[in-house]
């Protein structure tokens, strides 16, 4: 017989109240500490309803602390308290007459996004219990897909705030590449060849045949992403590019993102870009690997930052630079990229602000030559990155990215 949801979760918690971590922190109010102690006691007294109520109270109070100041000033104590609140709320929902799995997963995701790791990553282990990739259904109000052409039904068109109906975004044109500026492509170079010819001299190159064996190359599609991650909550960037005045971020489920920004494309942009997606969704993490060439760096594998980039055609990353070496692996769709070496920095007119100092002011596909006269003198390389290819972007090289199709890329930042 399949163990109950509660018995599975109970099995990964400490066996007794005495062994439950004593939650305290100098910045956490005494009343909240007492709530956490009472909620823990409710678990072992099997008073799950009260446990869930206290968890929600702790979450709400901690939420105010997390959002009442700049994120860099938020203490780990309050992030820890928030995660315990999430834990207690989810535990408290286990034996409700109607269990809302999507809501429980949302609470767990909020802990991963905003909280701190607690109890040997207990939140991620609860997610594994709650998630069954073979039976995941889109939450009520969204539409699953049975084929690549199925669309979300709409009774009437969406409108802008002024009442007008937005135009559909035309499919981006494929740029014509300049032969002399095309980034070279090589197939499965040895580690030593790559190190001597590209890593040491810091030259961009496209690698082929390196990730053909990754499961994602056969499995990933919009439908598959919905199946394994549709009800997971993620941060989404809203706007054409992060330098625009109207750019913002919002939390939503992957299904909401896909239905609103991938399948139906009114005149608006959304982009799922974050480094925690693979920690949140283990099924996706199992479908990729770490390129062997990363071992040529100075750090360990744990020091490599893995980022997910998922968005519709037309999504743009403005010309910018990153502080580490970068392997950009293209899994789904195509992307146009233009690269400039570090030596061209003065001709690229970076922003003066500390926040955007790594970003160029120039719209490279429509440059203002009067405002940025030296930009036309800057040498560049370009490519159209296709599924199965990896682009090596040397550290601090400037790069501009535009998706030509619905696109899913994975980047690896390493030193």
Domain boundaries, the chain: 5-130, 179-414
Tell me if 13 sits within 8 A of 39, measured CB to CB.
no
Q: Using the structure block, give the residue that is written with the tokens 């678990």.
A: 43
Express each pLDDT in 67-118 by its tens digit.
888 888 889 999 999 999 999 999 999 988 889 999 999 999 999 999 999 9
pLDDT band at 261 (very low <50, low <70, confident <90, very high): confident
133 C-beta neighbours (distance < 10 Å), count: 12
Three-state DSSP state, 367: coil
- Mean pLDDT is lowest, of 178-187, 349-358, 367-376, for 349-358
Q: What is the pLDDT of residue 245?
A: 67
Q: What is the pLDDT of residue 172?
A: 61
Task: Select the more confidently predicted residue: 299 or 219.
Answer: 219
Spatial distance between the Cα atoms of 235 and 224, rounded to a whole number of angstroms: 19
Q: What is the pLDDT of residue 149?
A: 37
Domain 179-414 adopts which CATH fold?
Answer: Jelly Rolls (2.60.120)
DSSP state of 221: S
282 C-beta neighbours (distance < 10 Å), count: 15
Q: Is the pLDDT of residue 287 over 80?
A: yes
Rounded (5°) CA angle 107-280-227: 95
- Give the burial string for 96-120 (b: 16+ CB within 10 Å, else e): eeeeebbebbbbbbbbbebbbebbe
Q: What is the pLDDT of residue 72?
A: 81
pLDDT band at 31 (very low <50, low <70, confident <90, very high): very high
Q: Which of 255, 250, 263, 249 is nearest to 232 (CA)?
A: 255
DSSP state of 285: H
Q: Which two tokens stand for residue 298?
A: 């100075």
Q: What is the pLDDT of residue 140?
A: 42
Q: What is the pLDDT of residue 157?
A: 45
Task: Select the more confidently predicted residue: 173 or 278.
Answer: 278
Q: Which of 156, 157, 180, 152 is nearest to 167 (CA)?
A: 157
Q: What is the mean pLDDT of the chain?
A: 87
Express each pLDDT in 121-141 by its tens digit.
999 999 989 985 443 444 444
Tell me if 247 sits within 8 A of 226, measured CB to CB.
no
| Terminal-residue alpha carbon distance, the chain | 49
Q: Is the pLDDT of residue 155 over 80?
A: no
Spatial distance between the Cα atoms of 84 and 20, rounded to a whole number of angstroms: 12
Tell me if 41 sits within 8 A of 23, measured CB to CB.
no
Q: What is the pLDDT of residue 158?
A: 47
Phi-psi region of 388 (alpha: psi -120 to 50; beta: other; left: phi over 0): left
Spatial distance between the Cα atoms of 415 and 398, rounded to a whole number of angstroms: 17
185-187 and 205-208 strand pairing = parallel
Spatial distance between the Cα atoms of 169 and 179, rounded to a whole number of angstroms: 29
Three-state DSSP state, 78: helix
Tell me if 389 sits within 8 A of 182, measured CB to CB.
no
DSSP state of 182: B
Calculate the alpha carbon distances from 45 to 48, 99, 167 in Å.
Answer: 8, 20, 58
Express each pLDDT in 289-341 by its tens digit.
999 999 999 888 889 999 999 999 988 999 999 999 999 999 999 999 999 99
Q: What is the pLDDT of residue 17?
A: 95
Q: What is the mean pLDDT of residues 182-198?
A: 97
Q: Which two tokens stand for residue 350?
A: 């970076």
HSE of 91, CA atoms in CB hemisphere, 13 A: 29
Q: What is the pLDDT of residue 276?
A: 77
Express each pLDDT in 370-396 by its tens digit.
999 999 999 999 999 999 999 999 999
Spatial distance between the Cα atoms of 283 and 348, rounded to a whole number of angstroms: 40
Q: Which of 154, 142, 56, 49 is nearest to 102 (CA)?
A: 142
Calculate the alpha carbon distances from 149 to 263, 336, 340 in Å.
Answer: 9, 25, 38
pTM to 2 decimal places: 0.82
Q: Is the pLDDT of residue 365 over 80?
A: yes
Task: Select the more confidently predicted residue: 165 or 228.
Answer: 228
248-253 and 325-332 strand pairing = unpaired
């Amino acid at each position: 017989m399949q163990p109950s949801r509660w018995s599975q979760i109970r099995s990964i918690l400490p066996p007794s109240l005495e062994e439950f971590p004593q939650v305290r922190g100098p910045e956490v109010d005494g009343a909240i500490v007492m709530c956490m102690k009472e909620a823990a006691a409710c678990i072992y007294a099997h008073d799950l309803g009260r446990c869930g109520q206290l968890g929600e109270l702790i979450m709400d109070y901690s939420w105010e602390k997390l959002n009442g100041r700049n994120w860099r000033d938020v203490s780990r104590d309050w992030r820890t308290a928030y995660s315990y609140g999430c834990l207690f709320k989810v535990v408290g929902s286990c034996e409700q007459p109607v269990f809302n799995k999507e809501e429980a997963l949302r609470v767990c995701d909020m802990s991963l996004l905003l909280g701190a790791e607690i109890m040997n990553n207990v939140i991620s282990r609860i997610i594994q219990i709650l998630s069954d990739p073979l039976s995941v259904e889109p939450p009520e109000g969204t539409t699953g897909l049975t084929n690549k052409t199925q669309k979300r039904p709409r009774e009437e068109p969406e409108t802008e705030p002024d009442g007008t109906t937005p135009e559909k975004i035309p499919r981006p044109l494929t740029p014509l590449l300049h032969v002399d500026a095309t980034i070279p492509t090589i197939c499965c170079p040895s580690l030593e060849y790559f190190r001597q010819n590209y890593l040491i001299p810091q030259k961009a190159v496209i690698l082929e045949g390196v990730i053909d064996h990754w499961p994602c190359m056969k499995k990933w599609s919009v439908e598959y992403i919905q199946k394994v991650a549709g009800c997971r909550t993620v941060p989404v960037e809203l706007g054409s590019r992060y330098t625009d005045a109207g750019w913002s971020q919002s939390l939503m489920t992957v299904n909401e993102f896909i239905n609103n920004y991938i399948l139906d494309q009114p005149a608006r942009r959304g982009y799922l870009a974050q480094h925690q997606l693979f920690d949140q969704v283990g099924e996706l993490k199992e479908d990729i690997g770490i390129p062997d060439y990363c071992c040529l760096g100075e750090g360990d594998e744990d020091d490599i930052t893995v980022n997910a980039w998922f968005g519709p055609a037309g999504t743009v990353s403005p010309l910018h630079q990153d502080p580490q070496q970068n392997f950009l692996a293209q899994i789904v769709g195509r992307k146009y990229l233009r690269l400039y070496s570090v030596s061209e920095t003065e001709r690229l007119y970076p922003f003066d602000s500390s926040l955007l100092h790594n970003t160029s002011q120039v719209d490279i596909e429509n440059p203002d030559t009067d405002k940025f006269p030296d930009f036309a003198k800057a040498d560049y390389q370009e490519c159209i990155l296709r599924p199965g290819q990896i682009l090596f972007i040397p550290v601090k090289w400037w790069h501009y990215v535009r998706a030509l199709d619905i696109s899913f890329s994975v980047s690896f930042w390493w030193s």
